[in-house]
Amino acid sequence: MLYPPIPLKQDLLSLLHLHLTWYPLMGPQDAYKLLYQGIMGPEHLVATQQEFTRRLQAEFDGLLPDRDGRLFETVRPDDLLFRLNLRPYKAIHNSVDALISPLLQTSRSFHGDVTELSSAWAELIRLVERGELSLFAISEVRRLHRLLKKEDFPAVHHTEVYRQAYQPAYRLISAKLIQDLMSHASS
């Protein structure tokens, strides 16, 4: 399934502001990761279903449930792809079994485009330069841009500040699969 391009400027700005509301310590690298996920999809290669399941189960087992957390967070302005936060999911469901199929389907259905990613990143830079996204220092954004461009816009990890503050534990899921996941998970 090929997802439509992310609409730029206002929609992108709204998405970034939404995530900054949730995660005020988000830095430019974390914003890039958000763009990457929304355009390129899950960055983790899935070698086999068994390996995917083993890794997910190991992470899930080590998490404390969080009844107050957001279960889903959009990573695209058009709401076609979401982060499924594992801690709130664990508070509702004590097993990852229902997650395996929709998460694998999501990872197999995404065919991202580096050109679109670089365009979205360029729009983020313009938003920072114009002061519409003033939380990020332009010097830091430009430094990151040079690194990203040199590596042809790779997948990145969240910053240490973000990881320490928010302890992210999520997987990406297609919006089309959420209702089916929730009906299977509750049965």
Query: What's the pLDDT tens digit per position in 33-82?
Result: 999 999 999 866 667 889 999 999 999 999 999 999 999 999 999 899 99
Short-list 56, 58, 59, 31, CA closest to 46? 56
Query: What's the pLDDT tens digit per position in 173-182?
Result: 999 999 888 8
Query: What's the pLDDT tens digit per position in 131-175?
Result: 999 999 999 999 999 999 999 999 999 999 999 999 999 999 999
Sign of the CA dihedral running 84, 147, 15, 167: positive
Between vectors from CA 136 to CA 8 and to CA 75, what angle results, nearest 5°?
45
The residues facing 83 across adjacent strands are 73, 172
Q: What is the pTM of this model?
A: 0.91
Q: Does residue 5 surpass a pLDDT of 60?
A: no
Q: Does residue 104 surpass a pLDDT of 80?
A: yes
| φ, ψ at 37 (rounded to 5°) | -65, -40
DSSP secondary structure of 82-140: EEEEHHHHHHH-S-SHHHHHHHHHHHHH----HHHHHHHHHHHHHHHHTTSSTTS-HHH
| CB distance 116 to 6 below 8 Å | yes
pLDDT band at residue 185 under the 50/70/90 scheme? low
Starting at the edge strand that comes first in sequence, how are the strands of the sheet with 81-85 ordered? Answer: 72-74, 81-85, 170-174
Question: Who's near 43: CB < 8 A, 6+ residues apart?
Answer: 36, 37, 155
**pLDDT for res 4:** 52
